[in-house]
Amino acid sequence: MEHVSFTFSIRGISRTCSHQLVRHRIASFSQQSQRYVDMQDFKFIVPPLISKNKEAEQVFLETVKYIKDRYLQLKEILEKDKNLDKEKLNEDLRFILPQAVETKIVVTMNVRELFHFFSERLCYRAQWEIRLLANKMLALCKEVLPSVFTFAGPKCKRLKFCPEGYSPQEAASGRKSCPLFPKRGS
């Protein structure tokens, strides 16, 4: 499990998702640079919670358009400066880019780290985008090594109980932590 590794070329995820991904330290990452890549025509990810509410989606799209317009305005202002260090332009402009900006990243993980990644990121309580990515990665791993990755999945699958805690709001509403397994002692 230590010496077999998988490399994934990932595109179409948000910077929010990539920030969660790079928290898995026993992996190698090469991410698209916002410093060297001109981001003036950036694409972005709209979360499902927002996209299924037309009014919320409209506000989200207006907000991204506003940010994009301000980004271009700021770039135009800075480019008028005769003393501008052009190499520093994108470096500083990226400060106003939203976390919804689409990015690309190449990730290499060995099998042991993939099992850990899947145990954490396939959990029902994981954020939707990283969970979606983890499901796609697991499907690819199962194609290559089905006998090994048959045992991969959220940690509750291995433990046979949900180790995640309840927030006070969830406990008050009666919401279950995990649809697969009960919480230990339940």
Is residue 116 one of the residues assigned to a domain?
yes
Tell me which of 15, 23, 121, 184 is the catalytic residue: 121
| Rounded-to-integer distance, Cα 11 and Cα 14, Å | 9
**Out of 20-34, 56-70, 153-167, least confident range:** 153-167
Do 115 and 26 share a structural domain?
Answer: yes
Q: Specify whether 121 is catalytic.
A: yes
Do 122 and 111 share a structural domain?
Answer: yes
Do 180 and 162 share a structural domain?
Answer: yes
| The pLDDT value given to residue 177 | 64
Task: Please give the average per-residue pLDDT across 88-115, as a whole number.
Answer: 94
Is residue 43 one of the residues assigned to a domain?
no
Do 110 and 26 share a structural domain?
Answer: yes
CB 130 within 8 A of CB 45: no
| Rounded-to-integer distance, Cα 34 and Cα 94, Å | 6
Rounded to 5 degrees, what are φ and ψ at 102? -70, 145
Segment 59-101, tens digit of pLDDT = 999 999 999 999 999 999 999 998 888 778 988 999 999 999 9
Greater model confidence, 166 or 67: 67
| Rounded-to-integer distance, Cα 106 and Cα 110, Å | 14
Is residue 91 one of the residues assigned to a domain?
yes
Is residue 26 one of the residues assigned to a domain?
yes
| Rounded-to-integer distance, Cα 28 and Cα 7, Å | 9
Do 182 and 161 share a structural domain?
Answer: yes
| The pLDDT value given to residue 87 | 78
> pLDDT exceeding 70 applies to what percent of the chain?
91
pLDDT at 169 over 90: no
Rounded to 5 degrees, what are φ and ψ at 5? -130, 160
Is residue 126 one of the residues assigned to a domain?
yes
Looking at residue 11, which CATH number applies to its domain?
3.30.70.3180
Do 107 and 23 share a structural domain?
Answer: yes
Do 119 and 29 share a structural domain?
Answer: yes
Greater model confidence, 127 or 38: 127
Is residue 9 one of the residues assigned to a domain?
yes
**Sorting pLDDT into bands at 50, 70 and 90, what band is 25?**
confident
pTM of the entire predicted model: 0.87
Do 149 and 114 share a structural domain?
Answer: yes
pLDDT at 140 over 60: yes
Segment 35-63, tens digit of pLDDT = 888 888 899 999 999 999 999 999 999 99
Mean pLDDT of the chain: 90
DSSP 127-157: -HHHHHHHHHHHHHHHHH-HHHHTT-S-HHH
Is residue 42 one of the residues assigned to a domain?
no
Helix (H) or strand (E) holding 62: helix 54-79
| The pLDDT value given to residue 38 | 83
Is residue 16 one of the residues assigned to a domain?
yes
Residues making up the chain, counted from first to last? 186
Do 108 and 92 share a structural domain?
Answer: no
The number of folded domains in the chain is 3
| The pLDDT value given to residue 178 | 75
| Crossing angle for the helix pair 86-93 and 54-79, to the nearest 10 degrees | 160
Do 57 and 78 share a structural domain?
Answer: yes
| The pLDDT value given to residue 181 | 76
| The pLDDT value given to residue 171 | 59
Do 87 and 58 share a structural domain?
Answer: yes
Do 143 and 52 share a structural domain?
Answer: no
Q: Which domain holds residue 63?
A: 48-98
| The pLDDT value given to residue 106 | 98
| Crossing angle for the helix pair 111-121 and 128-144, to the nearest 10 degrees | 140
Adjacency order of strands within the sheet including 5-14: 5-14, 102-110, 28-31
Nearest to 32 by CA among 120, 103, 132: 103
